[in-house]
Amino acid sequence: MKNFEYTIKDENGIHARPAGMLVKEASKFNSDIVLESGEKKADAKKIFAVMSMNVKCGDKLSVLIEGSDEAQAEKVLYEFFCNNL
């Protein structure tokens, strides 16, 4: 299992556009990818789950990745978060 934490810097949080982009990136991998923020959890491959987390600017998000391509997924998703959120 791989994981990383990221503090959201986008002033709008994870709104529709970046949520859609995140789901698209996460869906490229076979690994299970779960987002956690406080008590909220979501499958990163499901747009409604990601949107329902209601993640705001300044929220800390944990990204948990488990599966056959977890190392590559961790690298790509961390880069995605740094560049987009």
Q: Which residues of 65-75 are buried (b: 16+ CB within 10 A; e: fewer)?
A: beeeebeebbe
**63 burial level (CB within 10 Å; 0-12, 13-18, 19+):** buried
Residue 15 is a catalytic residue: yes
Which residues make beta-bridge pairs with 36? 41, 62
CA 82 to chain centre: 11
Catalytic annotation, pick one of 4, 10, 15, 37: 15
Active site members:
15
